[in-house]
Structure 1
């Protein structure tokens, strides 16, 4: 038995809608046919893809991984078929929300070819919670979220993981006994100015708990609510900070900033593409969604 394309299309639809019954209605096939296709795919994969619940389904980690690989190509193929049949994509601006740093450095450059094809976009920056609220209210079409949405009516697809690193400028790092960090912990950094995204040290607290199994008990020297500003402060030797590697890859490659520690398991955070359930039937949104899933594999 080999995996068939219609199994993958059915799998993607069940994942998005969270229901075999809804997927059958959307695809125009019977529910037993949906069940049969998913069971065949699970047999081929050698692991369950959905946990059957009294009211719908819950995807397994195996389903999350499979969706990351196949959803983009399945959507893109569907759009190619529509275009070959002469179905024009309805043109209206798509409203996209996300964190300012990843949206400006990765997402916006990734859609330039779609803009060249005539698609229109409107971007909004903000925190995940407020953007997801706007998504649920219909004010946004898609959100690049730093948290997995739990609201009813919103589906999310894992897109990319960001890895965090403890950084200093080369000049400042030379004055820090970095070789002692792994054995003595953050006490080695006492007296070194700390640069944070917020007063509450959200990113730094997560790194401290994951790597040092403790929480920071310091007041930041600099607070800048934009990770690009925090990177600029680190480059200028104003202090140390925790930043995602995608944001500072060029600076690390050039030696302007250097990692102070390289833990075996660095802290990561997963970004999700969040949309309202059922909205991926909109051709433009489905095209963008699939496009970003393919592009997202190149972001790290």
Structure 2
């Protein structure tokens, strides 16, 4: 069996679509489709069921992936390690939002340091600036909240970020246990707000998604242009805030802050992992790319 066909199959199985697999492999979608069809002809059985939103593995496809993936991963890792040894390019320039890149991405890539990778990072609060820098070649890979358009850049969804409405326990204690759920956001009127910008982007998005409205003018608003600072201020009692769950999970567990509401449909924001099209052929970029996608399955 051709190992290149098997690698394409495993990538499609993990990605759930030919389009996403093509981006991961640095191939065109027709090339991925052709390779999967060739493998299906060799096996004499279909491996995927095609649908409007991607592909679903058949029983045969699931069995093959379960048996082959660990061995293929080991072979690819050995091959890429050898390529890395021959290559003088081992520095990865990663750009992304300061908080997510610091808390999620950089620690996830840390094990690659022992394998010879050197990391350089740049922080950007705006998706447009991040993608412009990637397109200009200032960095090799970007984490962004906007999917790039056009053929110059290729992006795949990395993970979804859930937003939580939080406050210090003393603010939560002023609310009736079921007041916010039954009476709506009016019970929060007058409470100070901690945000990353004067326009209250996270709070406004939460209000629009959960309450189908806009927040009232906040009293004593604190503006801190870093989500980690927002968390510290909220925990200190400066006011309510809306934060990604990954960032405030520890504070919630320790009781430093309290979730004021648990809506059935919390606001979500998708992060994308973007590279310049074709650069996944470089071993150090391909390895970091796949490493982040694997890590993101637990985020």
- What TM-score do you get using the length of structure 2 for normalisation? 0.80
Q: Match of 1:56? A: none
Q: Match of 1:54? A: none
How far is 1:209 from its partner?
1.0
Distance 1:289 1:42 in 2: 31
Is residue 43 of structure 2 the alignment partner of residue 45 of structure 1? no
Q: Match of 1:124? A: 122
- Cα 1:94–1:84 change in 2 (3 A) is closer
How far is 1:75 from its partner?
7.3
- From 10, 14, 29, the equivalent of 2:22 is 14
Count of matched residue positions in the alignment of Structure 1 and Structure 2: 275
How far is 1:92 from its partner?
3.6
How far is 1:246 from its partner?
0.5
SS in 2 for 1:124: strand
In 2, are the aligned partners of 1:93 and 1:122 still within 8 Å (CA)?
Answer: yes
SS in 1 for 2:50: coil
Distance 1:204 1:41 in 2: 54
How far is 1:142 from its partner?
0.3
- Cα 1:261–1:279 change in 2 (3 A) is same
Distance 1:147 1:222 in 2: 27
Distance 2:191 2:55 in 1: 43
How far is 1:90 from its partner?
3.5
Q: Match of 2:249? A: 249
1:116-265 aligned at under 5 Å gives the runs 116-126=114-124, 127-219=126-218, 221-265=221-265
SS in 2 for 1:160: strand
CA deviation profile, 1:28-82 (whole Å, cap 9, x unmatched): xxx855654589999433233xx8xxxxxxxx4559xxxxx99x98777534234
How far is 1:240 from its partner?
0.1
Deviates more, 1:245-254 or 1:198-207: 198-207
In 1, are the aligned partners of 2:163 and 2:266 still within 8 Å (CA)?
Answer: yes
Q: Match of 1:100? A: 98
In 2, are the aligned partners of 1:153 and 1:277 still within 8 Å (CA)?
Answer: yes
CA deviation profile, 1:76-122 (whole Å, cap 9, x unmatched): 75342343689634334211101110111111211221112221111
How far is 1:180 from its partner?
1.6
Distance 1:137 1:38 in 2: 40
In 2, are the aligned partners of 1:197 and 1:223 still within 8 Å (CA)?
Answer: yes
- Cα 1:90–1:138 change in 2 (3 A) is same
In 2, are the aligned partners of 1:89 and 1:284 still within 8 Å (CA)?
Answer: no
Deviates more, 1:267-276 or 1:107-116: 107-116
Distance 2:177 2:75 in 1: 50
Distance 2:273 2:264 in 1: 28
